[in-house]
């Protein structure tokens, strides 16, 4: 078993190798929050790079609920042609191309001007950075039902556009992850309390999506292996959720970890646990693979072929690679030809962990922008420079988003 073996999914479709381009948030939508020309150039680079599976960055199911300005939104068929072009580019070299569909819940900055929803009215705890996020509104039954239908509609539109599948994002502290965690879900109704209740929204969304797409369309779930916060969603919880997902037509579970409050997806745990320097979550994945009826993928820190091979040989079905593919989109092709490429960013050791986490994310986005312009990435870029550039761009995109939403409200 090696990273270039094929993988057959439960739906009968085949992924040409065991390397996935994991989701990274691009924030490269056009003025209408549809896929832009730079975004398509970015995915053309990855399509040529040789990964068997491409997973998009966040595609929002609700234009009022954004992980950031400049995000792609798919909530109706207005721009389905643009999505169709994006799908064709991603699939042009034989890869499967899945949309990662998401709702941020409370992890949406307040300057976007929209009300935030969450299972309970629990604000983010980010120290001085908390002021950028409002206290969310606890969701009503009607809101919960609307979110379920929005995920299903976006998945259906994704299939109509020509994508191979969707990945339902239930990790990294976003809405579905908030429902799963006892720290953020303090409800006492059928959507809170016991794990079976906290998992109910995810399970209902999976059922609703599976009901509106074809049997050949892949439906995957991205799940935290743990929140890495004391009292939060645990590794045992993750294992139980995977058992609950068995039998629901899920084609793959991707395991990651953390949230804005504890960015374990960058190798930073907040519960006293020590994460590996590479392949952060592989031990959790091996454990969960024992109970999973579907293939399991692990993402987080993988950048060297020997490590990727060890993950596959240990019984995990796929490896997800993010940052390394932002630096070198041809990494899978290089590995296949025997090159020992291992692209990496320099570690950011700022004392302010929240700011360091943000700087790490914007340094990755800096590489994505370079690729989208047809230029060579610069992994040695100053994190401060990348952060300043990103803050300026975000301020501009935030103003554009607010104007766009105001215009839509008038029409």
Q: What is the pLDDT of residue 267?
A: 44
pLDDT tens column, 76-118: 999 999 999 999 999 999 999 999 999 999 999 999 999 999 9
Bridge partner list, 96: 53
The DSSP output letter for 274 is: P
Domains of the chain: 7-345 (3.20.20.70)
Instruction: Report residue 242 as tokens.
Output: 């995977």
Give the CA count within 13 Å in the CB-facing half-sphere of 266.
25
Place of tokens 């209408």: 32
- Measuring CA to CA, which residue among 167, 35, 34, 53 is closest to residue 101? 167
Containing 41, the helix (H) or strand (E) segment is helix 37-49
Round the CA-based radius of gyration of the chain to a whole number and report it: 19
Q: What is the pLDDT of residue 261?
A: 67
Contact at 8 Å (CB) between 384 and 360?
A: no
pLDDT tens column, 226-277: 766 777 888 899 999 999 999 999 999 999 876 676 554 444 444 343 334 4
Instruction: Report residue 290 as tokens.
Output: 């024992």
pLDDT tens sequence for the chain (411 residues): 799 999 999 999 999 999 999 999 999 999 999 999 999 999 999 999 999 999 999 999 999 999 999 999 999 999 999 999 999 999 999 999 999 999 999 999 999 999 999 999 999 987 887 888 999 999 999 999 999 999 999 999 999 999 999 999 999 999 999 999 999 999 999 999 999 999 999 999 999 999 999 999 999 999 988 766 777 888 899 999 999 999 999 999 999 876 676 554 444 444 343 334 455 578 888 889 999 999 999 988 899 999 999 999 999 999 999 999 999 999 999 999 999 889 999 888 888 877 887 888 899 999 999 999 999 999 999 999 999 999 999 999 999 999 999 999 887
Q: What is the pLDDT of residue 278?
A: 52
Average pLDDT, the chain: 92
Contact at 8 Å (CB) between 225 and 255?
A: yes
Q: pTM for the complete prediction?
A: 0.94
What is the C-alpha to C-alpha distance for residues 160 and 154, in angstroms, rounded to an integer? 10
Contact at 8 Å (CB) between 362 and 390?
A: yes
Classify 84 in phi/psi space as left (phi over 0), alpha (psi -120 to 50) or beta.
alpha
The Cβ of residue 325 has, within 10 Å, a number of other Cβ atoms equal to: 27
Q: What is the pLDDT of residue 276?
A: 45
């Amino acid at each position: 078993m090696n990273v270039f073996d094929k993988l057959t999914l439960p739906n009968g479709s085949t992924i040409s190798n065991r390397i996935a381009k994991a989701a990274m948030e691009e924030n490269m939508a056009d003025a209408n929050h549809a896929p832009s020309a730079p975004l398509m150039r970015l995915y053309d680079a990855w399509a040529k790079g040789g990964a068997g599976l491409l997973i998009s960055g966040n595609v929002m199911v609700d234009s009022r609920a954004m992980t950031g300005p400049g995000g792609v939104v798919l909530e109706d068929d207005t721009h389905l042609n643009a999505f169709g072009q994006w799908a064709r580019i991603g699939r042009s070299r034989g890869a499967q191309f899945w949309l990662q569909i998401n709702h941020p819940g409370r992890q949406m900055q307040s300057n976007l001007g929209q009300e935030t929803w969450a299972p309970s009215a629990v604000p983010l705890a980010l120290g001085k950075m908390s002021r950028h996020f409002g206290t969310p509104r606890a969701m009503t039954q009607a809101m919960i039902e609307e979110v379920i239908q929005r995920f299903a509609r976006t998945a259906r539109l994704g299939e109509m556009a020509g994508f191979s599948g969707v990945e339902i994002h239930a990790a990294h502290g976003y809405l579905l992850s908030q429902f799963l965690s006892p720290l953020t879900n303090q409800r006492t109704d059928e959507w809170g309390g016991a794990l079976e209740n906290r998992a109910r929204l995810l399970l209902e969304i999976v059922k609703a999506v599976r009901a509106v797409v074809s049997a050949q369309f892949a439906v995957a779930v991205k799940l935290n292996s743990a929140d890495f916060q004391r009292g939060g969603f645990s590794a045992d919880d993750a294992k139980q959720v995977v058992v609950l997902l068995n039998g629901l037509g899920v084609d793959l579970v991707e395991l990651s970890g953390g949230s804005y409050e504890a960015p374990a997806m960058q190798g930073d745990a907040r519960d006293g646990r020590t994460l590996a320097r590479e392949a952060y979550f592989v031990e959790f994945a091996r454990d969960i693979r024992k109970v999973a009826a579907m293939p399991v993928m692990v993402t987080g820190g993988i950048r060297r072929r020997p490590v990727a091979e060890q993950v596959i040989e240990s019984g995990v079905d796929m490896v997800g690679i993010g940052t390394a593919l932002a630096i070198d989109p041809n990494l899978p092709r290089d590995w296949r030809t025997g090159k020992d490429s291992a692209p990496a960013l320099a570690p950011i050791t700022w004392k302010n962990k929240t700011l360091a986490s943000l700087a790490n994310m914007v340094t990755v986005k800096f590489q994505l922008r370079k690729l989208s312009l047809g230029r060579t990435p610069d992994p040695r870029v100053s994190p401060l420079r990348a952060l300043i550039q990103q803050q300026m761009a975000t301020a501009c995109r935030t103003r554009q988003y607010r104007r766009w939403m105001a215009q839509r409200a008038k029409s």
